[in-house]
């Protein structure tokens, strides 16, 4: 809770205490009771009257404050002074408790995320200077000591450590970082001191984007929230009209204005819709905050709701089902040792920066001498290069076939790099994209949750895509697709009324993410493009978090409907009792303030539950 909220909270408590003491004195001094009750009423309700006048000037009449003022003034008019004050007292106490519960729930979410850093230690000519993170510029150097939060996104230029990324990714395992490693704001340095070169301003940092999205998460409201807002606009004037009818018609018939005036006031107080208006947005806010705590960034309540309406989930392959990191899985020499073939391939690829070449050099793992490497040339299907007196071809099946080299094509599934020396076939290296360790578990868990229509769309060749799908348990796929083909597929699915979730890497798949009913991207460690393009971002690329988000969305929706059912049930019962004369104004206050408090406490269960 902010300092501002604390001051407000304490001043309101003082008013309640002072007004209550004066009211008690009115019982001791019955001669002055009416004066003292009116004084206590003015103290406790003066601010509320000002708010009502301000709202009326803005054209906002039918809210719970207006109804409470009318009800208590009505009680005074019919001579129920003590009851009029008691209603206002209970209302103000209820408001204090409601405000405290709402503030606590919001603060708990922010504390659980524990992201923002208030200071940064800037390095200027070797001297340390503590500054506000907003003052740090791109390319500045900052130092982050053990136990401190990293205040801005950057790249490590000196030092080695482990960082706790759980506040961003939900992943408890520390991440090892060293020189040239990317780090993001909101994470915690656990071991050695790190000198970091800042790569983004504070306002553009990962932590700022996450907090801004959460704070603005109500910009695109769910259908339930929109319905409740529309419902309240019709409901409140309707019950005010009904309250007037309860007062006017029976009073004229029976000539008993006091009795029917009292019943109409009870009806009016009972009807306040603030329990629905407050608890439902709070429930979605809690659901979004809980997702963030688990490393799933949901942009708005509409996206949280849409998770439960999805019929089909489409996955991009590279960077989503697979890691997008190539590795050598097999080396097969033709009458030569595997390690010798690997050394030749690594030397041939020494000038290449292609991911396939990098995987070969990484597997070799030694320093490569380029003194005798010459005539390096990129050609269709691979490269040609000379090493000393020998000429080499390194590339795909078509490259060797085109150069009329005799060899047998392998049936292994993956990316095959064939190597030939002076027109003689030496062997091949098999390279595959790693499948993410949780991909298969994600598919299994989705099927358990009733989502069985899963599809992989990929630009890779059919054999590779088929093999990946077989290994993770997905039966449907399409291969050798361009980005526009994925968009076409989604358009056709939507024409058939299918609600589509697309899961991609957030860069190449931006059009598909934007077109789908729900775009989910692999945020990596805070990818800017993925945050911009999608509705939901998995911050640590763990696909099982999709299932976690579904569970949180289900629980949130369950709490929302529990609150709606409870509020309407209580209000309908008390409204009927009020009209029949079996309810008093104190019961009506419970049906308003008490019910609101109960729904808020019920809502807090969303982020207290273990998922």
DSSP state of 218: T
Low-confidence ranges of the chain (pLDDT < 50): 1-9, 112-113, 217, 525-526
Rounded to whole angstroms, how far apart are CA atoms 102 and 106?
6
Question: Angle at which helices 33-57 and 3-28 pack, to 10 degrees?
Answer: 150
Nearest to 128 by CA among 193, 61, 32: 193
Per-residue confidence (pLDDT) for residue 157, from 0 to 100: 94
Per-residue confidence (pLDDT) for residue 140, from 0 to 100: 93
Per-residue confidence (pLDDT) for residue 439, from 0 to 100: 92
Rounded to whole angstroms, how far apart are CA atoms 529 and 555?
30
Is 148 in contact with 188 (CB distance < 8 Å)?
A: yes
Nearest to 443 by CA among 413, 471, 421: 471
Tokens, residue 3: 């300092």
Catalytic residue among 305, 316, 505, 542: 316
Rounded to whole angstroms, how far apart are CA atoms 1 and 598?
21
Per-residue confidence (pLDDT) for residue 588, from 0 to 100: 79
Is 458 in contact with 314 (CB distance < 8 Å)?
A: no
Per-residue pLDDT tens for 464-508?
888 899 999 999 999 878 777 888 999 999 999 999 999 987 556
Quick one: how far is CA 284 from the chain centroid?
11
Rounded to whole angstroms, how far apart are CA atoms 574 and 258?
20
Does domain 323-434 fall into CATH 3.40.1110.10? yes
Is 483 in contact with 297 (CB distance < 8 Å)?
A: no
* CATH code at 297-321+436-545: 3.40.50.1000
HSE value, Cβ hemisphere, 13 Å, CA-based, for 335: 6
C-beta neighbour count of 237 within 10 angstroms: 12
Per-residue confidence (pLDDT) for residue 43, from 0 to 100: 92
C-beta neighbour count of 258 within 10 angstroms: 12
114 conformational bin, left if phi > 0, alpha if psi -120 to 50, beta if neither? left
Q: For residue 71, what is the enclosing H or E element? A: helix 64-77
Per-residue confidence (pLDDT) for residue 331, from 0 to 100: 95
Is 468 in contact with 435 (CB distance < 8 Å)?
A: yes
Domain ranges of the chain: 3-111+216-284+554-608, 137-200, 297-321+436-545, 323-434
Query: Which 3 state secondary structure label does DSSP give 505?
Result: coil
DSSP state of 406: -
Per-residue confidence (pLDDT) for residue 272, from 0 to 100: 72
Enumerate the β-bridge partners of residue 121.
Answer: 130
Is 109 in contact with 607 (CB distance < 8 Å)?
A: yes
- Give yes or no: 467 in active site: no
Nearest to 501 by CA among 435, 554, 450, 455: 455
Number of residues that this document lists for the chain: 611
Rounded to whole angstroms, how far apart are CA atoms 472 and 452?
13
Q: How far is CA 167 from CA 469, 528, 551, in A?
A: 32, 18, 19
C-beta neighbour count of 368 within 10 angstroms: 14
Q: What fold is seen in the domain 137-200? A: 2.70.150
Nearest to 532 by CA among 523, 524, 541, 540: 523
Q: How far is CA 445 from CA 306, 449, 551, in A?
A: 19, 6, 11
Is 121 in contact with 142 (CB distance < 8 Å)?
A: yes
Rounded to whole angstroms, how far apart are CA atoms 566 and 583?
18
Per-residue pLDDT tens for 571-601?
889 888 888 888 887 787 778 778 888 888 8
HSE value, Cβ hemisphere, 13 Å, CA-based, for 610: 0
Tell me the three-class secondary structure of 110-160, residue by residue.
Answer: HHHHCCCCCCEEEEECCEEEEECHHHCCCCCEEEECCCCECCCCEEEEECC
């Amino acid at each position: 809770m902010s300092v501002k909220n604390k001051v407000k909270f304490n001043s309101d408590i003082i008013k309640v205490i002072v007004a209550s003491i004066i009211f008690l004195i009115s019982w001791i001094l019955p001669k002055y009771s009416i004066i003292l009750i009116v004084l206590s009423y003015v103290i406790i309700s003066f601010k509320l009257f000002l708010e009502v006048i301000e709202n009326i000037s803005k054209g906002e009449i039918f809210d719970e404050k207006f109804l409470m003022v009318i009800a208590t003034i009505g009680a005074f008019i019919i001579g129920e002074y003590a009851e009029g004050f008691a209603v206002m007292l209970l209302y103000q106490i209820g408001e204090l408790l409601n405000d405290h519960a709402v503030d606590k729930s919001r603060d708990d979410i922010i504390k659980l995320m524990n992201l923002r850093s208030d200071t940064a230690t800037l390095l200027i000519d070797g001297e340390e200077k503590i500054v506000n993170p907003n003052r740090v510029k791109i390319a500045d150097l900052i130092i982050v000591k053990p136990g401190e939060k990293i205040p801005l996104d950057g790249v490590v230029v000196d030092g080695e450590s482990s960082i706790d990324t759980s506040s961003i990714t939900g992943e408890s395992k520390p991440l090892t970082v060293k020189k040239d490693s990317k780090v993001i704001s909101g994470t915690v340095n656990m071991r050695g001191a790190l000198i970091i070169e800042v790569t983004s301003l504070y306002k553009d940092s990962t932590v700022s984007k996450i907090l801004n999205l959460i704070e603005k998460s109500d910009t695109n409201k769910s259908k339930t929230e929109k319905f409740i807002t529309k419902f309240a606009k019709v409901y409140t004037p309707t019950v005010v009209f009904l309250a007037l009818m309860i007062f006017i018609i029976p009073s004229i018939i029976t000539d008993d204005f006091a009795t029917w005036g009292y019943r109409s006031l009870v009806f009016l107080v009972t009807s306040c819709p603030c329990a629905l208006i407050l608890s439902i947005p709070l429930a979605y806010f809690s659901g979004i905050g809980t997702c963030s705590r688990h490393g799933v960034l949901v942009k708005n309540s509409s996206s949280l709701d849409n998770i439960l309406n999805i019929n089909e989930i489409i996955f991009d392959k590279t960077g989503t089902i697979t890691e997008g990191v190539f590795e050598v899985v097999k080396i097969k020499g033709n009458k030569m040792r595997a390690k010798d073939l690997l050394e030749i391939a690594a030397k041939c690829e020494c000038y290449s920066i292609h991911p396939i070449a990098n995987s070969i050099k990484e597997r070799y793992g030694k320093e490569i001498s380029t003194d005798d490497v010459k005539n390096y040339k990129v050609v269709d299907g691979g490269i040609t290069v000379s090493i000393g007196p020998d000429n080499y071809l390194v590339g795909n099946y078509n490259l060797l076939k085109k150069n009329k080299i005799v060899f047998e094509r392998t049936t292994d599934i993956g990316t095959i790099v064939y190597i030939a020396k002076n027109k003689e076939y030496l062997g091949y290296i098999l390279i595959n994209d790693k499948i993410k360790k949780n991909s298969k578990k994600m598919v299994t868990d989705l099927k358990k949750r009733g989502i069985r229509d899963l599809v992989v769309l990929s630009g890779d060749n059919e054999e590779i895509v088929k093999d990946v799908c077989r290994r993770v348990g997905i039966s449907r796929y399409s291969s050798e697709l361009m980005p526009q083909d994925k968009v076409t597929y989604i358009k056709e699915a939507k024409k058939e009324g299918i609600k589509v979730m697309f899961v991609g890497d957030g860069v190449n798949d931006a059009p598909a993410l934007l077109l789908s009913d729900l775009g989910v991207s692999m945020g990596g460690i805070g990818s800017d493009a993925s945050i911009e393009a999608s509705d939901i971002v998995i911050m640590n690329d763990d696909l099982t978090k999709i299932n976690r988000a579904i569970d949180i969305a289900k629980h949130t929706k369950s709490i929302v409907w529990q609150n709606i059912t409870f509020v309407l049930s209580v209000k309908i019962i008390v409204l009927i009792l009020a009209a029949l004369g079996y309810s008093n104004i104190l019961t009506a206050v419970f049906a308003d303030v008490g019910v609101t408090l109960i729904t808020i406490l019920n809502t807090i269960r969303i982020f207290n539950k273990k998922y």
